Amino acid sequence: MKPIDDEEAARHKAKMAKRKAVQDAEVAGKTIEKGLLIVNTGPGKGKTTAAFGLALRMLGYGRRVGVVQFVKGAWHTGERAAFAVFGDKVVWHSMGEGFTWETQDLKRDVAAAQAAWAKALELMADPSISLLVLDELNIALRYDYLDLEAVVAALKGRREDLHVVVTGRNAKPALVEAADLVTEMGATKHHFAAGVKAQQGIEF
């Protein structure tokens, strides 16, 4: 990098002062405070890990987090072990029976999804929880294991200060419509296509 002369430094300072004024005005215009309904969807990697990133951020303020997993069952994951360190600041329920092609049992999958949703409702009603992660709820909705209208109505009717993050591919349009923040993870490149298997600490 070439040396910065005084004239350039002054130009930069003036430009940044202008930018700060614009930025401050924009921030001042945003006054609403509310619990958000967040949806992480799309074909790329990062939906669940981004939700847990938010959980970590919330825990940083000493606030409580709930997690309900609709697909993952008893199997060990790094995130579950890591969040266990936070003790009762994290309420964790892995209610799934595993992938549908593994269980091959529709009745069991539907019952598991409904039990998971009952847990979700219970945690939504718990005022000590600040953030609720409903991991892979989109999958249960996609396969019609749960009533879409009832789920969306309950999410919309959540406590004013409760943040909820829903993850999973193929989010239903009604949920996207109801959400405050929707992020579509794009699959630009995935190592799976190159024959790389699921890696400890990266996928589980």
Q: How far is the CB of 108 from ligand ATP (least distance, A)?
A: 20
For 126, residues 6+ apart whose C-beta sits below 8 A from its C-beta are: 66, 91
> Counting contacts by CB under 5 A, is residue 48 touching Mg ion?
yes
What DSSP string describes 2-16?
PPPPHHHHHHHHHHH
| Count, residues near Mg ion per rule CB under 5 A | 2
Cβ 164 vs Cβ 132: under 8 Å: yes
Q: How far is the CB of 191 from ligand ATP (least distance, A)?
A: 8
* Closer by beta carbon to ligand ATP, 75 or else 126: 75
How many Å apart are CA 153 and CA 174, to the nearest integer?
10
> Counting contacts by CB under 5 A, is residue 40 touching Mg ion?
no
Interaction partner, residue 198 (ligand ATP, Mg ion, none; CB < 5-8 Å by kind):
ligand ATP
How many Å apart are CA 77 and CA 71, to the nearest integer?
13
Buried b (16+ CB within 10 A) or exposed e, 11-34: eeeeeeeeeeeeeeeeeeeeeeee
Interaction partner, residue 185 (ligand ATP, Mg ion, none; CB < 5-8 Å by kind):
ligand ATP
Which residues bind to ligand ATP, rule: CB under 6 A?
A: 43-49, 167, 169, 185, 187, 190, 192, 198, 203
Interaction partner, residue 69 (Mg ion, ligand ATP, none; CB < 5-8 Å by kind):
none
Interaction partner, residue 184 (Mg ion, ligand ATP, none; CB < 5-8 Å by kind):
none
Picking from 77, 43, 40, the residue whose alpha carbon sits closest to that of residue 175 is 40
Q: How far is the CB of 128 from ligand ATP (least distance, A)?
A: 26
Applying CB under 5 A, the residues found at the interface with Mg ion are 47-48
